[in-house]
Amino acid sequence: MSDKDTIISAEIAEEQFELFTDFYQIALTDLDDGDGEVVSTMIKNRFLRALRAGRLEVKETEDGLVVEQNLVVKAAGGNLDKITYRQLNGAARKSLRKVKGNYDQMYTLLARLSGESVAVYDKMSGKDLAAAEALAMLFLIA
């Protein structure tokens, strides 16, 4: 990541990452698929890059922990520049029961937590999609 892409410090990004993973009791070291260390490092680095660039923000609110995604390219016909993801809950998890495919599960879960349409994620690309997918990967292992 170049300095021009950095909005917040590595230390602040690490604090937000720890806030998120502590809240959901995520231990990336628990990934033991044979490539666990590689996978956990990739997930963490993608999430940290999105945090440092200001594309994701982890916040504690009255309603609990939320994550805001600041979009580089406006979505939904140019009307959407920020997506707020509420706390992961059982209803969101249950919405994945009949969904096949990793990416379909990620986008369905994000849509459920944000109240946006899955079509928003179908149209995302580049940095916006990378940030959304990094968040989705963490939600799926929470």
Give the separation between CA 40 and CA 68, rounded to whole angstroms.
22
- pLDDT tens for residues 85-117? 999 999 998 988 989 988 999 999 999 999 999
- pLDDT of 4-37, one tens digit each? 566 899 999 999 999 999 999 988 777 656 655 6
Q: What is the pLDDT of residue 37?
A: 66
The rounded radius of gyration (Å) of the Cα atoms in the chain is 15
Higher per-residue pLDDT: 90 or 79: 90
- The distance in angstroms from the start CA to the end CA of the chain is 27
Handedness of CA 53, 14, 121, 104 (dihedral sign): positive
Domain residue ranges in the chain: 3-141
So what's the pLDDT on residue 95? 86
Q: For the chain, percent helix, then strand, then coil, each to nearest 5?
A: 55, 15, 30
